Every structure is written in C-alpha cells, then in structure tokens.
Structure 1
Amino acid sequence: MYLSKCCYFVPLRIGLLVFAVLKILAIITHYIYFDESDFPPDTEEDERDFMMVLIIGGIMKLIQVLFTGALIIGIVKRKYDVVHVCYVYSAVILALELLKCIVYIPLETYRLYAYIQDDVWWPFCSLMTSSLLVIGVEFYFVVLIRSHLCSMKECVSSQESSAESPKKPRP
C-alpha cells in the first residue's frame, strides 16, 4: 500500500515532514505531561519504581526523538539509507505498541483490580483506547515512510519519471 499524498491533499514529502515535527512535539508534550501529572509516591519502594519508570520512559522518548529527527534530516537531504533505518525503527515501535496492547494493558488492569475493585473497566477502556489511537497513528506514519521510500527509490531508478524530480519543459 503506497500513498502519493499525505492526508489526501498535501504532497507526501511535505506531509511527512510536518507529521514528523508533530510527532516530536507530541513526544515531548507526553513526557512533560507524564512527569508532571503522576501522583507522588507514598513509600520508598514506590519512589524507586516511579524513578525507574520515569528514567526508562525518558530514554525511550529520547530515542524516539532522535530517530524522528534523523528521519527529518533524511527526508530533507534525500538520504535513502537514513529514511530506511527510520522506517525499520518505526515498524519495530509499531510491533511493540501492539504487544503492549495485547499483553501489558490487561496485566496492568489486573494489577489495578486490587485497588479499585468496582470500577476497573474505566482504566482498562481508557488505556486500550489511547493505545489503539497510538497504534493507528503509528501505522499511518509507517505507511507514509514506506510510501516516501518507494518514491525515493523510484527517483533513484528513473530521474525523468519521478515525482521527486522537477519536471523539465519539453521543447
């Protein structure tokens, strides 16, 4: 499945650049929100667990920002190898997000059941909905990168028929 435009009307290259910048802003905003909105830990063990989650989450967000920044640079400089590495990384992230949706969220809901026995479906539904939204957006991002890779490969193989190369007027 290949796209020629992003969001039905924006050229693929420009749309992917805008999408990548918005992804970086969303990652940074999510990390700030997660850092500021979590409840303070009650015990020393909770504080240690909270710090581990915060540090691991921060490292993961930093890696995502670095790969998305590399994608932006690869698109701007038209580097096929850089965009391909970012494509593989995004596909792996999509697979991990699917795994989280299948394994982690039900286990987390089961753990929450000990604390809130009456209303356990609300956290489960909200976690599942947000994960499915992230999966949908990440899938679209992977499809956009794949489409751009195919247009870049086409650009390399035939310069005159590519969507990336400027059209020369015929005499």
Structure 2
Amino acid sequence: MPDGVQAIVLCEDLQGWVFARRMLLAMGYENGRIRLSRYKYPAKGGGGSGEQHVRERYPDELRAYRPRAARTKTTLVVLTDADKLTVPQRRKTLEDALEKKALAPRGPEERVALLVPKWEIETWIHFFLDGTTVDEDRKDYPKYEDHEADAAPAAETFGQHARQATTPAQAPPSLVTGLIEARRAL
C-alpha cells in the first residue's frame, strides 16, 4: 500500500489531473500527499500543446524525482495522450526527451508510471462509464470540459483495478498497459 507516499502528477490538462488524482486516491494514497507538478499544465485556450508540455517537462520532473525518492517514498505519475502515435511511439518520445537531456532512462525499480491512453483519456473514461467496448482509433469521444469531476468514477474504477491487479474484460490495449504502469505506483 502507498501509505505515506507522496505522488506528483505531470499531465496535459485539468481532465488528466482529475483522473490521476482520483485514481491515486482509489489506490490508497492520502489526499494531502498528491500534488500537481510544479509545471501544472497549459492554460485552457492558451495555445500550448499538452503533449509538448508533458514531453518537455518529463526530464525535469524525473531529475527532481530521483533524489527525492532516495530520501522519501515518492511516486511520479505522467499522463499524456498518444494522439496520432501508437502508445509505444508516444512512450519513445518521452524516452527521447530524457536522452536529449542526458538523463538515464526510467529504471524498473523506479515508482514512475507512464499512463498513455490512445488518442485521449476520454477513451478510458468512456470505457468505464459506459460499460461498453471502446474504439481506440476513435478520437471523438465527448469531453468533460467544465465537468471534469464527472469522470471521477471512471478514474476510481481504474485505480481499483490497478490496486487489485485485475484487468476488466474487453479493456482496450492502452488501458491494459496503463493498468500495468499504474501498479508501479503501489
């Protein structure tokens, strides 16, 4: 269990922050020990790419995570969409960002979870909320803009599956990979 573990979340937008926070709470994290990255996320309508924001700040967050993790229990959760890329390709862009900054890749023992839904987090949200099969190649699932908290039950269910090491039937491939990654935070 993650008793006393501090979690830092690096994400693209408010929906990602709400999802990651509620997931961590469902996994047993204490509310006061979950915080948003010092880089926050681009302002809505600010013209910045959420993916670029995460990719460019991931090396800095990992650099800060490592000495912190040596002193205290810490988890870093990185949530970014694959968009047009495949999930492995998006993960490679994160690895490349580390290499560009001369940082060692994420180690297998590091509590760093890379959550990468195909296209967007709404794919995972609709899978859990609608209880139906989702098409990961579809990018037009309705957003929860200005109602981000409505997706909390989906994040909580995701977190419960991660905590219990279970995978729901008919889960899309990126969600299955996401659950494996989320278990790194336990």
User: TM-score when scaled to structure 1?
Assistant: 0.28
More strand by share: 2
User: TM-score when scaled to structure 2?
Assistant: 0.26
More helix by share: 1
Which is higher, the Rg of structure 1 or of structure 2? 1
